[in-house]
């Protein structure tokens, strides 16, 4: 639906846009000082998010994966997860609360069993392989050319930077002499990494502000296209 201007050629006539604009400005009002409107909006957000969670989880997960197959198609094996789900709620009652540990233990066990080997392979083994296979030359690049020097330099920085950063976290030897000097290089590598992360973080936060500014100026006030 296209929003038509409301006041003097400006301002949206859609109720949803006005509500979103009010909530946006109410949240930003905290930047001036804490106030009752901000608190109201914050609480509304939490309430809406909780209600929304229940609806989405039920209609996208519980209904198609449990209710329909169990009660319509008669897949009785699903009584097991249903029982596990109900056991979680025994926490409400002190006397039988210990029963909730059964589904929690199941979830933790399955979760750990799935996560540990897969994480080791994807985050440790693959990264080790990636570091060991750093490209210093390439068949596509002439050795000694600008591209070749760039590839070689990049590979060396990556390799030496990784080793230096790892030595910084190696505490079985005192950080003195050559080990200390390499660890110091490692500190610089880590600081550069933090600097890049900080720069990206600033960019991310500003992006969120820009998104809201665009919404207020275009969709609500309609002063830009």
Partner 1 sequence: MKLWDKLTSLDRRWTFLAMAIAAILPFLVPMGLAIQPTKEVRAVYDAVEALRGAGKPLVVSFDFDPGTDAEIGPMAHAVMTHAMKRDVPLIVLNFIYTGTALAELRLQKVADAFPDKKYGVDYVFMGNKVAFANVMLNMSADLRLSYSTDYFGTPVDEIPMLKGVRNYDDFGLVIGLSGTRLVEYWIIYAQEPYGFRYAIGCTAVSATDMYPYIQTGQTIGLLGGMKGAAEYEQLMVESGLMGALGDAARGLDSQSLCHLVVIAFILMGNVAYFAGRRRG
Residues in touch with partner 1 (CB under 8 A): 31-32, 49, 52-53, 56-57, 60-61, 64-65, 68-69, 111, 114-115, 118-119, 121-123, 126-127, 129-131, 134, 158, 193, 196-197, 200-204, 206-214, 217, 223-224
Measured from the CB atom, the residue of 108 and 122 that comes closer to partner 1 is 122
Measured from the CB atom, the residue of 35 and 60 that comes closer to partner 1 is 60
Torsion sign across C-alpha atoms 33, 38, 40, 44: negative
Measured from the CB atom, the residue of 59 and 93 that comes closer to partner 1 is 59
Measured from the CB atom, the residue of 11 and 158 that comes closer to partner 1 is 158
Compute the least distance from the CB of residue 42 to partner 1, in Å: 14
CB contact at 8 A, 187 and 168: yes
Compute the least distance from the CB of residue 16 to partner 1, in Å: 11
Q: What are the DSSP calls for 90-125, one per residue?
A: GGGSTTTGGGGHHHHHHHHHHHHHHHHHHHIIIIII
Distance of CA 14 to CAs 10, 11, 138, 140, 221, Å?
12, 9, 58, 57, 11
Dist. CA 213–CA 221, nearest whole Å: 10
Compute the least distance from the CB of residue 41 to partner 1, in Å: 14
């Amino acid at each position: 639906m296209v929003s038509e201007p409301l006041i003097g050629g400006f301002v949206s006539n859609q109720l949803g846009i006005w509500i979103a604009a009010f909530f946006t400005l109410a949240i930003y009002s905290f930047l001036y000082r804490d106030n009752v409107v901000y608190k109201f909006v914050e609480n509304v957000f939490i309430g809406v998010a909780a209600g929304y969670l229940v609806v989405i989880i039920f209609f996208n997960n519980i209904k198609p994966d449990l209710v329909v197959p169990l009660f319509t198609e008669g897949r009785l094996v699903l009584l097991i997860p249903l029982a596990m789900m109900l056991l979680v709620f025994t926490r409400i009652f002190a006397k039988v609360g210990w029963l909730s540990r059964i589904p929690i233990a199941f979830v933790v066990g399955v979760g750990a069993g799935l996560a540990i080997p897969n994480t080791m392979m994807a985050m440790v083994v693959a990264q080790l392989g990636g570091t060991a296979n750093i490209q210093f030359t390439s068949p596509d690049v002439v050795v000694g050319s600008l591209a070749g020097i760039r590839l070689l330099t990049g590979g060396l920085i990556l390799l030496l930077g990784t080793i230096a950063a790892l030595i910084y976290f190696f505490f079985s030897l005192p950080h003195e002499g050559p080990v200390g000097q390499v660890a110091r290089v490692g500190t610089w590598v880590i600081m550069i990494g933090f600097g890049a992360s900080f720069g990206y973080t600033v960019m991310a936060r500003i992006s969120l502000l820009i998104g809201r500014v665009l919404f207020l100026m275009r969709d609500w006030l309609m002063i830009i296209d």
